[in-house]
Amino acid sequence: MRIGINAIFLAPGKGGGMERYLSNMVRAMAEQVPRGSLVAFGSREGLPCLEGIAPVVASPVPASQRWARILWEQVVFPKVAREWKCDVMISFGNVCPVRLPCPSLVVMHDLIPYTPAHGFSPLEKMTAKFLFRMTALAADGVVTVSGFSKGQIVQILEIPGNKVSVIPGACDPVFFQQRQKKENGKPIILAGASALPHKNLEGLLRAYQIFANHERKNTPLVITHTHGTDKEIMDRAHQMGLGGRVTTTGRISDQELAFLYQRAAVFVCPSVYEGFGLPVLEAMASGAPVISSQAASLPEVAGGSALLVDPRNPAQIAGAMGLVLEDQDLRRKLSAMGTERAKEFSWEKSAAALLALARKTAGDDQ
At residue 365, the pLDDT reads 63
Same domain? 178 vs 62: no
Average of per-residue pLDDT values in the chain: 92
Same domain? 89 vs 11: yes
Same domain? 208 vs 280: yes
- Condensed to tens digits (0 to 9), the pLDDT of residues 154-175 reads 999 999 999 999 999 999 999 9
Evaluate if residue 184 carries a pLDDT over 50.
no
Domain count, the chain: 2
pLDDT-derived band of residue 34, with 50, 70 and 90 as boundaries? Answer: very high
Q: What's the angle, vertex CA 105, arms to CA 103 and CA 108, rounded to 5? A: 155
Same domain? 86 vs 153: yes
| Residue span of the structural domain in which 234 resides | 173-342
Assign residue 211 the CATH number of its domain.
Answer: 3.40.50.2000
At residue 214, the pLDDT reads 82
Same domain? 16 vs 152: yes
Same domain? 178 vs 299: yes
At residue 309, the pLDDT reads 98
Q: What percent of the chain has pLDDT over 90?
A: 78
Same domain? 331 vs 351: no
Evaluate if residue 183 carries a pLDDT over 70.
no
Same domain? 27 vs 95: yes
Same domain? 210 vs 155: no
Evaluate if residue 217 carries a pLDDT over 70.
no
Query: Can you list the pairs that 316-322 forms with residues at least 24 positions away whose Cβ atoms lie under 8 Å?
Result: 316/207, 317/203, 317/204, 317/207, 317/268, 317/270, 317/291, 318/207, 318/208, 318/210, 318/211, 318/214, 320/291, 321/189, 321/207, 321/208, 321/211, 321/266, 321/268, 321/291, 322/211, 322/214, 322/215
Per-residue pLDDT, averaged over 237-265, amounts to: 92
Buried b (16+ CB within 10 A) or exposed e, 326-338: eeeeebeebbebb
At residue 298, the pLDDT reads 97
Q: What percent of the chain has pLDDT over 70?
A: 96
Residues 6+ apart with CB under 8 A from 154: 160, 161, 164
Most confident of 221-230, 251-260, 274-283: 274-283
- Condensed to tens digits (0 to 9), the pLDDT of residues 92-135 reads 999 999 999 999 999 999 998 988 766 678 888 899 999 999 99
Evaluate if residue 269 carries a pLDDT over 60.
yes
Measured CA to CA, the distance from residue 133 to residue 95 in angstroms comes to: 9
Per-residue pLDDT, averaged over 317-344, amounts to: 96
Closest by CA to 12, choosing from 57, 51, 53, 46, is 46
Evaluate if residue 235 carries a pLDDT over 80.
yes
Same domain? 235 vs 149: no
Same domain? 190 vs 121: no
Q: Are 59 and 77 in contact (CB under 8 A)?
A: yes
Same domain? 70 vs 184: no
